[in-house]
Structure 1
Amino acid sequence: MTNISRSHFMDEIEQAEPPRKFNMPHFTSFKGDEDLERHLKHYRSTMILYWNNDALMCKIFTTTLQGEAQDWFHTLLPQSIRSFDELSFVFTNDYSSYYSIKKKSDCLFNDKKNPNESLRDYVNWFKAEKAKIVRCNNSIASAAFQKGLPSYHLLFEELIMKEYLTLADSFTLAEKHAL
């Protein structure tokens, strides 16, 4: 017998079997960077025929979560979810808090290129940091990239002389300067 005590669901939910003729509907995955209320509404309307089967509603809902949202789900305490209403409440409240502590675009202004760091390393680091930010604003990222360079750097001088550079344009110029 498997150890279900580590499940986030109470035993009644964890042990429940799906209905015999249940066919898994198609869901859009929730990766964490979309509107969570909209995802929940879509899920409820897709599962309307099973709304009275709490266990099924809980178990199937977890399969719609991916990425950051799946990570959040695994932060829940074992045996902490008793019903789909409770899961919905925790999802809309706790996930909102969990998501809000993630980095925002303007946090890129906090770091600068180290004088001993190569331009290529700075670009790679910046790209990696930007990738961690959900819905990163490219205009803010572009300004932060430029501000992170020392004012005496040739790339900095070139970037401030050009108007309306995209972040991709800035990276292309950085590659030319890194050669």
Structure 2
Amino acid sequence: MTLFDGTTDHFDHVSQYKQKMITVTTIGHVKEACMCKGFGSTLSGPALRWLGSLLNRSISTFDDLVNAFTQQFASSRKPQKHAGDLYRIVQGANETIGEFNTRFNNEKVAVRECDVSTAVEAFRRGLHNDSDLYKLLTMHPCHSFEADQEKATSAIRLEEDMLARACIPSTLGISSTSAIEKSGRK
């Protein structure tokens, strides 16, 4: 578990700690004490100094500790992303569909609650208006984000193939005798 130093999201840290402690077998009446005593081993730097500065017997329960911890490190909490934030993600001028898809999905997983129609519509609206994928998703809307991603994966494959083929010199339009003649001149 990564040590908390006060610079990352305190809410995530408490959640990770609770998940780790669930796996530890303890007898019911000592569980609370173990949760409180073990918490300090997950802190470093300013967070550990803060814990050491608490007055003796000022914390009775793990909930008390979490409340005090939350008050102290409230400013380190990452702003919560909302489903509407997905509409601000747009494909850059020179960004491939694959790059946009990756960036969109990284942002989407940070949204705690997002209905399917919002994710599907935000993804479509974020694409370039002249892209074939935008046109396809507009003409044939998907009813699930998974279906949206299947169409995006197909478009990404096509885009990657076209880019790879653009790097291969074309011999179209050159007859085999012309190619032989040119190779003989070298």
Q: Does 1:30 align with 2:15?
A: yes
Over 3 Å counting, the alpha-carbon distance change for 1:60 and 1:127 in structure 2 is: same
Deviations 1:50-77 (A, max 9, x none): 3885xx44124578xxxxxx7xx76963
Structure number with higher helix proportion: 2
Q: Which has the higher contact order (CA 8 A, sep 6+)?
A: 1
> How large is the RMSD of aligned CA atoms in angstroms?
4.0
Q: Where in structure 1 are there 5+ consecutive unaligned residues?
A: 1-6, 9-28, 64-69
Q: How big is the shift at 1:115?
A: 2.5
- Cα–Cα, structure 1 residues 103 and 50, in superposed 2: closer, same or farther, change >3 Å? same
Q: Which runs of no fewer than 5 residues in structure 2 stay unpaired? A: 6-13, 159-186
- The match for 1:78 is 48
Q: Which residue of 2 aligns with 1:23?
A: none
Write the deviation string for residues 123-142 of structure 1: whole angstroms up to 9, x where unpaired. Answer: 12212222333444443222
Where does residue 96 of structure 2 map in the other structure?
Answer: 118
2:176 corresponding residue in structure 1: none
- 1:84-103 matched pairs, under 5 angstroms: 84-85=60-61, 86-91=64-69, 101-103=79-81
Pick from 79, 82, 105 the counterpart of residue 127 of structure 1.
105
Name which one, 1 or 2, has greater alpha-carbon Rg.
2
Structure-1-length-normalised TM-score: 0.54
Q: CA deviation at 1:112?
A: 0.7
Question: Does structure 2 retain, via aligned residues, the 8 Å contact 1:141–1:167?
Answer: yes
Give the aligned residue type for 2:15: F
Render the CA deviation track for 1:82-112: whole Å, top value 9, x for unaligned: 3245413235656777556132232221121
**Deviation string for 1:4-48 (max 9, x for gaps)?**
xxx98xxxxxxxxxxxxxxxxxxxx9349xxx9xx9xx9xxx875
Q: Is the 8 A contact 1:142 1:166 kept in 2?
A: yes
The alignment-based identity, stated in percent, is 21
Alignment TM-score, normalising by the size of structure 2: 0.52
Answer whether contact 2:87 2:125 (CA < 8 A) is retained.
Answer: yes
